[in-house]
Structure 1
Amino acid sequence: NMHLPQSQAARAEIQHIMSVPYQIISPQGNSPIIGLVQDSLLGCRLMTFRDTFLEREEVMNLMMWIEGQEDRPLPPPAILKPKMLWTGKQIFSLFLPKINYDGWSVTALDEEKKQNCWMSFNDTRVIIREGHLLAGILDKNTVARSEKSLVHIVINSYSTLIARDFLNVTQKVVNNWLESRGFSIGLSDCVTKKESLDQVHTTLSELKQSLEDEEIADAVSGRMEAEPGMTLKETFEFKVNAKLNKVLETAAGIVKKSISRENSLIQMVNAGSKGSNINISQILACVGQQNVEGKRIKYGFRGRTLPHYTKDDLGSESRGFVMNSYLIGLTPAEFFFHAMGGREGITDTACKTSDTGYIQRRLIKAMESHQVAYDGTVRNSLNQIVQFIYGADGYDATSLETQNVRLVNMNDKAFRQNYELDIDNADFGIGFMEQHSIEELRNDPLARDILNSEISNLSALRKKLREEVFTDAKNRVALPINISRLLETARMNYNINEYVSISDLRPLDVIKRVEEKIQSLIVVQGNDRISRKAQENATLMLRAMLYSNLSAKQLIFRHRLNSDAFEFVLGEITHLFKRSIVAPGEMVGTLAGQSI
């Protein structure tokens, strides 16, 4: 079907609301729903390996696909002799917008993340500085549809149009490179070592034996006790099913250890372009338990699932456990059970489509007139107030980023180290501040009171957040300004070295300017008591984040910002905040109906 706008209003809506770049980030979970998939995603992973090198001819061919950079000179090669070679990371950096990014690849281990090591052994730490990919493998975490992916950061740092161009160029360059590099999958990728298959068979035999010795023996002898809210039969089925369903994970772990890095299945799973560990396990090791309605296959005949089994057989095979892998092939009984599980999936999908579609239609119909009014409230077609402030904070969900408020989890010692300025200490400010600023601060009679008021303010905020907001000790919050990335960008833009640069900022000026800036971030207009309280509640999280990251000690002693960088940060805060306020006229009812 082709739809043609019939009026100027329709044209304007299509151009400024419906246009695809504006749909990249979904307000449902303030994360991208458009990103690289399949070939492009796999290509990004293969291209950014440490051992991916390109010759001059390949680099020239790929540069041809980068639009708007026709006159760009060729970057210097990573290897000069015996042959000039460029890395895949260098090519990716040619079209990467000028952003800063720190993240982890899909294959990063938990120990690596805990240690927060910069140079990871497997190149899983992704580091981008000023648009240069310095380290790391790009995969599902960084270039696909996940929160805090590169697309998300480009949109929040620049605009949706630059993100659109980035996605377009990435696909063109990566797909053209992958075409010449080649990628295929065959039966050889589905074969693993005999030792690992023997290990899987041993695991399955041990599982079968343990079921007979424990669960089945307990059930037959009457030793089994019913779980709360379950009958004995339900308890038995629950325990057996839980045990059998774990096998796939165990088998996948065994098989993955013996497969080489070059295996095409593993490449796709690690990139996140297709498949999962369960698929690998089912192809190579064991298909596993087949379930219908979340339970093992029920008896259909008199105490049997199929006529081929004995009556009242409680074992795993007769109740739908498939021992074989897809590569070896299923027995007729296993095939039948597998077909039963597959049939349920198809019928489920067909039923759910109509149900969810109708539920969504009713929700949207009920809320179709809810919109944000010009006073910031959410109202319906009768002008009745549905919500005083949209989302309790007045932000458009597409401009938010999930962040951690460090202030909440800080103990008193860490709090003092991060925020207290001891101006009576003889070494105060040496190597961080200019000498005349130190003298000026010490001689100011009001300095101690102002510094103490900053500490009191932060301490009160921490207390309020702990007691009223983050009672479960979690400190994640969605905010429109990613202050840590903004400070990193400021340091990069103004060539500030966080170890040796001397800051020309004065603590009292910083406190005053930050206070003025935070007070200017207004969500709820009005000076009456209720409006002031609503404004305070709406901006509580943002204030906590800004006060804790823009304190005098943080800016001068940790980030070592100069006055130009400080002005840049304050300007960006205003810009990002104003951009994040929800637009009056936003049809938030329909949006809510679609997002549930």
Structure 2
Amino acid sequence: MNIHLSQNELTRAEPTELNGTPLTGLIQDHVVAGRILTMRDRFFEKSDYQQLVYNAIGSHSRRKIHLLPPCIWKRKQLWTGKQIISTILLYIQPVNEASLNLDSKSKLSMKSWPSKSNATNIDLMSNTDVIIRHEHLLSRLIDKAHCGSTLASLLHCYYQLYGKRCAADLDLHLELNDVLLLSLGLSHRRRLINQCRAQADSNEQILINEFAKGFCLKSFDERISKEMDINYKISIDHYQNQIVKQSMSNLFKQFQENNLQFLIQSGAKG
């Protein structure tokens, strides 16, 4: 984690007065939570809706929390995850201030989402465009483009419109099975690793001599060591790419359900 501490008046004035790309933003677990909450057809019962809202703002409540009516009344009252986000936004908005209206694009491209062959932009609108009207989240998922340290993100808009206190009020997790491979993926990975090791073992003595020449002699030549590093990376590059390819296609949990993949593809984690 990074923390930025202003050491003098000049550095304190810079983040206060200059308008640039935000330094702060929500990452990782928040991105996953935003995706899970705001996915299409994600509904919550009354107790879950109220509990999630309370967990977000209840313990720090300074005024009455305005709860939204359910989007489905029969046979059971249900609320969407977007309504949970909307409830939080409505609470954070200062009294007697203009409401936020926002149209924005998602970090994830349209091709990242599975769709039918005859799908149109209208069919996928809720997966590509963020629409907020009067603090109500109407469309799309919340990802890093809207809660991260991104220009014109939701967090940035709140800072510019309502100040740092409201932006601070907008202040998820990876599981073991996000990195687990299926048995087929494990066998492919072992095979590639063994092939890479076999190639290294066949040239072991040559490598030892070259390393000694490059690093252990008095007449050390930095160019030799750099050349060896480059050749080493080139020699294993093929195996590394194949291992990554086989691992990504044989994950126990695939995108969209894989939180780690979602973090990587949405830009929250490298």
* Whole-Å separation in 1 of the counterparts to 2:193 and 2:249: 18
Q: Cα gap change, 1:200/1:26 in structure 2, threshold over 3 Å: closer, same or farther? A: farther
Which of residues 51, 67, 70 in structure 1 aligns to 2:64?
Answer: 70
Which one has the largest radius of gyration? Answer: 1
Report how far residue 55 of structure 1 moved.
Answer: 0.9
* Whole-Å separation in 1 of the counterparts to 2:26 and 2:102: 20
- Is 2:236 the partner of 1:238? no
Q: Which residue of 1 aligns with 2:151?
A: 147
- Is 2:87 the partner of 1:83? no
Structure-to-structure mapping, 1:129-144, within 5 angstroms = 129-130=132-133, 131-144=135-148
Percentage of matched positions with identical amino acids? 20
Report how far residue 70 of structure 1 moved.
Answer: 2.5
Structure-to-structure mapping, 1:9-88, within 5 angstroms = 18=12, 23=15, 30-64=20-54, 65=57, 70=64, 72=66, 74-77=68-71, 79-88=72-81
* Whole-Å separation in 2 of the counterparts to 1:128 and 1:152: 16
Q: Cα gap change, 1:257/1:26 in structure 2, threshold over 3 Å: closer, same or farther? A: farther
* Whole-Å separation in 2 of the counterparts to 1:200 and 1:242: 19
Residue type at the aligned position of 2:45: E
Structure-to-structure mapping, 1:476-555, within 5 angstroms = none
Report how far residue 45 of structure 1 moved.
Answer: 2.4
Q: Is the 8 A contact 1:25 1:33 kept in 2?
A: no
Q: Is the 8 A contact 1:105 1:138 kept in 2?
A: no
- Is 2:183 the partner of 1:194? yes
Deviation per CA, 1:371-413: give whole Å up to 9, x if none.
Answer: xxxxxxxxxxxxxxxxxxxxxxxxxxxxxxxxxxxxxxxxxxx
* Whole-Å separation in 1 of the counterparts to 2:264 and 2:40: 19
Q: Which residue of 1 aligns with 2:219?
A: none
Deviation per CA, 1:108-152: give whole Å up to 9, x if none.
Answer: 54899xx9935439x641321323323322222220112332122
Deviation per CA, 1:348-385: give whole Å up to 9, x if none.
Answer: xxxxxxxxxxxxxxxxxxxxxxxxxxxxxxxxxxxxxx
Residue type at the aligned position of 2:128: R
Q: What is the root-mean-square deviation in Å for CA atoms of aligned residues? A: 4.6
| Secondary structure at the counterpart of residue 198 of structure 1 | helix
Q: Cα gap change, 1:155/1:196 in structure 2, threshold over 3 Å: closer, same or farther? A: same
Residue type at the aligned position of 2:35: R
Q: Is the 8 A contact 2:31 2:144 kept in 1?
A: yes
Q: How many residues align?
A: 225
Q: Is the 8 A contact 2:42 2:81 kept in 1?
A: yes
* Whole-Å separation in 1 of the counterparts to 2:120 and 2:18: 30
Q: Is the 8 A contact 2:130 2:141 kept in 1?
A: no
* Whole-Å separation in 1 of the counterparts to 2:87 and 2:153: 18
| Secondary structure at the counterpart of residue 32 of structure 1 | coil
| Secondary structure at the counterpart of residue 105 of structure 2 | strand
Deviation per CA, 1:274-295: give whole Å up to 9, x if none.
Answer: x54xxxxxxxxxxxxxxxxxxx
Q: Is the 8 A contact 1:36 1:167 kept in 2?
A: no
* Whole-Å separation in 2 of the counterparts to 1:116 and 1:24: 44
* Whole-Å separation in 1 of the counterparts to 2:32 and 2:17: 22
Deviation per CA, 1:147-174: give whole Å up to 9, x if none.
Answer: 3321223344x2424xx32541x44xxx
* Whole-Å separation in 1 of the counterparts to 2:234 and 2:16: 39
Deviation per CA, 1:235-290: give whole Å up to 9, x if none.
Answer: 564244135356545433322322214445445545666x54xxxxxxxxxxxxxx
Q: Is the 8 A contact 1:47 1:89 kept in 2?
A: yes
| Secondary structure at the counterpart of residue 98 of structure 1 | coil
Q: Which residue of 1 aligns with 2:244?
A: 252
Residue type at the aligned position of 2:184: E
| Secondary structure at the counterpart of residue 31 of structure 1 | coil
Which of residues 83, 86, 105 in structure 1 aligns to 2:107?
Answer: 105
TM-score by structure 2 length?
Answer: 0.60
* Whole-Å separation in 1 of the counterparts to 2:264 and 2:181: 16
Q: Cα gap change, 1:91/1:166 in structure 2, threshold over 3 Å: closer, same or farther? A: farther
Report how far residue 37 of structure 1 moved.
Answer: 3.4
Q: Which residue of 2 aligns with 1:165?
A: 166
Report how far residue 56 of structure 1 moved.
Answer: 1.2
Q: Cα gap change, 1:36/1:232 in structure 2, threshold over 3 Å: closer, same or farther? A: closer
* Whole-Å separation in 2 of the counterparts to 1:245 and 1:166: 44
Structure-to-structure mapping, 1:366-405, within 5 angstroms = none
* Whole-Å separation in 2 of the counterparts to 1:193 and 1:35: 34
Q: Cα gap change, 1:55/1:272 in structure 2, threshold over 3 Å: closer, same or farther? A: farther
Q: Which residue of 2 aligns with 1:117?
A: 121
* Whole-Å separation in 2 of the counterparts to 1:191 and 1:60: 34
Deviation per CA, 1:504-533: give whole Å up to 9, x if none.
Answer: xxxxxxxxxxxxxxxxxxxxxxxxxxxxxx
TM-score by structure 1 length?
Answer: 0.31
* Whole-Å separation in 1 of the counterparts to 2:101 and 2:62: 18
| Secondary structure at the counterpart of residue 187 of structure 2 | helix
Residue type at the aligned position of 1:125: T
Q: Cα gap change, 1:151/1:189 in structure 2, threshold over 3 Å: closer, same or farther? A: closer
* Whole-Å separation in 2 of the counterparts to 1:108 and 1:248: 28
Q: Is the 8 A contact 2:67 2:87 kept in 1?
A: no
Q: Cα gap change, 1:270/1:237 in structure 2, threshold over 3 Å: closer, same or farther? A: closer
Deviation per CA, 1:399-440: give whole Å up to 9, x if none.
Answer: xxxxxxxxxxxxxxxxxxxxxxxxxxxxxxxxxxxxxxxxxx
* Whole-Å separation in 2 of the counterparts to 1:254 and 1:44: 29
Residue type at the aligned position of 1:141: A
Q: Cα gap change, 1:144/1:235 in structure 2, threshold over 3 Å: closer, same or farther? A: same
Q: Is the 8 A contact 1:24 1:32 kept in 2?
A: no
* Whole-Å separation in 2 of the counterparts to 1:238 and 1:72: 61
